Structure formats: C-alpha cells, structure tokens
Amino acid sequence: MGRGGSVGRITDSQQLTANTFPRSHSDIYYGNAGIVRKTVLIFISKLGFMTTTNDKKVVKEYFNATGFDRWRRIYGEGEVNKVQEDIRIGHQQTIDTVIEWVKQDGNLADISICDAGCGVGSLSIPLAQAGAKVNASDISEKMVAEAGEKAKEVLEDASNITFSVQDLETIGGKYHTVICLDVLIHYPLSEAGQMISHLASLAESRLIISFAPKTFWLSILKKIGELFPGPSKTTRAYQHSEADIIKILEGMGFSIKRTGMTSTRFYYSRILEATRS
C-alpha cells in the first residue's frame, strides 16, 4: 500500500513497513479494473494528504496556544503540579541522555546539529553552550520565540545557534547530526515515517530520535488523557513500534548504535541513535 494507507488510524493489525512506506502510486499495478482502482487510489491519496495537512495544522495551532502555555511551564522551572513535575523530570532525563551521547564522541565543537521540533530550546541551548553549531527550528512560532528569549538569557555568545519557524519536513541543508525529540508522538506512523525519512536525508552521519513506544500505549493514552482533560486541550498521541521505526531507519541506510529509554510514572520515551552504516 502506498501513502493512501495512512488514512485513518494505524492499528496493531495495520502496521506499515519501511518497504511499503515510500512507494509512489506509479509502483502500483492497476490490473483489469484499472480505472476504478486508480480513481479510488487518487481519492485515498488526497485524503491522506488532507490528513497530513490537518494533523500538522492541529499540532501547530495547539503549540501556538494551550500547548504552548502548558509545555513552556513543564519545560520551565516554575511551579507545576505533580504530574507535570513527573513529566518534567522524565523529559530532562531524555535530554540528559542525548547530551551525554553527543558529548561522549568528543567532537561537539566541530559538528553541526539540526534540532528539529526544538520546543523551547531544552536541548538546543545546552548543545550550543557546549560549542556545537546548532540549527534549531519548530513549527510553532511561539515555541521558537520562547527558545530565542531563553537563548539570549542563558548564552553569553549566541552566534552558533540559529532559530527558525519551520515544519521539519521543509528543513534543508546537511548536518552532521539531526535530532528530533518527543515530536513523533504527535503523528501517526505514516506521517512519522515520512518525517524520519526526511530527517535522515539531512543527516550526514547520525540521527537521534525519540518516540513513545507502543508497549506503553494504553498507559500513555490514559495518562495524557488525565493530564489534558477535554478535547480542546490536547492533540492526539500516537505510539510507535520500535521495529517499524528501525525498518524505516535501515531503509534510509542507517543502523542503530545506541538506545535509551526514559520511563517515569507519566512519561515514556524510547531514544534511538542511528548512524550511517
């Protein structure tokens, strides 16, 4: 199935694989009932496009409004409730793991890093502080503005960090390392797969991503539900199977080098470091 397979929600029995994911419709053999099938496929692919556009639109609006206030608070230092504090601690562990990995290689000052979906700069700012050349971007103007403010406050010299408002699928250029943390939870596998493929194409050497692992799906749903009661306050949360993500990475010529897992009571994030094989 091509991209049309992304319509609707991915269920356990409806997983896409890396092989099926990037295929274009021209790969599909239309057979005898060609016209009908082709029309249906075009219709489905249009729906697929609409779904992608809508998911991004909803996520962008969320992170420019309620989501911005909520996550700025969680990722900040002020007082928060117990659940938010637990998430804050979990998220910081994810950030710390990634910083440790990147520092371990001992070449931070020589490499360029793209932080896609940078939020309020929780990762970008310490990486820039440690000497890396950082390109930070996010689909939400508010998040980017906040990250820029924080950078000004924290960094004595902010000349090695740039911020831009950008959907990660429109990022161009080449970077030694591309990092995308806690963004894929907002997208179903079909869209997350496209995003990973795009990010992989920007990475000369390494890609680090995190996602909500499928194993914890029910608890995440439940816990996110508790955290954001009411439909207007939340976006959909999607868990991903590690095997699916690895297949996509391998399909792009990467292999897994390090893995990490953060789990607190309310926060779960699987971290993969993939390098060009």
Of 244-263, binders to ligand SAH (CB under 6 A) are none
In the complex with ligand SAH, the residue whose CB is nearer, 122 or 177, is: 122
Specify the DSSP class assigned to residue 76.
S
What does the alpha-carbon distance between residue 84 and residue 69 come to, in Å, rounded to a whole number? Answer: 12
Q: Which of 181, 196, 220, 245 binds ligand SAH (CB under 6 A)?
A: 181
Stretch that binds ligand SAH, among 1-9, 21-29, 113-121, 149-157 (CB under 6 A): 113-121
Quote the least distance from Cβ 53 to ligand SAH, whole Å.
Answer: 11
What does the alpha-carbon distance between residue 265 and residue 252 come to, in Å, rounded to a whole number? Answer: 34
Contacts of 161 (CB under 8 A, 6+ apart): 124, 125, 128, 133, 134, 135, 136, 151, 155
Amino acid letter at 168? Answer: L
Q: With CB under 6 A, what is the number of residues at the site for ligand SAH? A: 21
Quote the least distance from Cβ 103 to ligand SAH, whole Å.
Answer: 17
SS3 of residue 209 by DSSP? strand
Stretch that binds ligand SAH, among 110-118, 196-204, 218-226, 239-247 (CB under 6 A): 110-118
Is 167 a binder of ligand SAH (CB under 6 A)?
yes
Is 96 a binder of ligand SAH (CB under 6 A)?
no
- Find the Cα–Cα–Cα–Cα dihedral 39, 45, 51, 57, rounded to 10°: -110
In the complex with ligand SAH, the residue whose CB is nearer, 113 or 143, is: 143
What does the alpha-carbon distance between residue 54 and residue 202 come to, in Å, rounded to a whole number? Answer: 25
Q: Which of 10, 139, 189, 224 binds ligand SAH (CB under 6 A)?
A: 139
Q: Which of 2, 5, 117, 213 binds ligand SAH (CB under 6 A)?
A: 117
Helical ranges in the chain per DSSP H: 34-63, 66-74, 82-104, 124-129, 141-154, 189-202, 217-227, 242-251
In angstroms and rounded to an integer, the radius of gyration of the C-alpha atoms of the chain is 19
Is 182 a binder of ligand SAH (CB under 6 A)?
yes
Which residues are at the interface with ligand SAH (CB under 6 A)?
56, 59, 63, 71, 75, 116-119, 122-123, 138-140, 143, 167-168, 181-183, 186
